[in-house]
Amino acid sequence: MGFSIADIPPVVLGKLDELARQHDELGARLNDPAVLNDHRMVRDLSMKRAALDQTVADYRAFRGLLKEADELRAAVASGADPEFAALAKAELPEVEAQAERLFGQIK
């Protein structure tokens, strides 16, 4: 079996989930009319959010790849459609490799 969520320490996943939550919260605050009236606060929140943008985007893409890998594994395991299972089995190593590379960038 290739790279999966089980390969990542829970504390790391927790930290990345927290960064994604903070990113979303900052985005919501930047849409708040009360905040929009305070240009200094908009600047500060925008800078904080921008600092998280790439990490959060990579993390979300990584989670998407892990989900795709899980779906491919399920297709292979089910064997309901042998042709699809063969395609999934062929595609799975590349998806796992992409996830592993992307996680390496996030760390």
Confidence (pTM): 0.87
Residue type, 59: Y
Condensed to tens digits (0 to 9), the pLDDT of residues 25-84 reads 999 999 999 999 999 999 999 999 999 999 999 999 999 999 999 999 999 999 889 999
Confidence of residue 5 (pLDDT cuts 50, 70, 90): confident
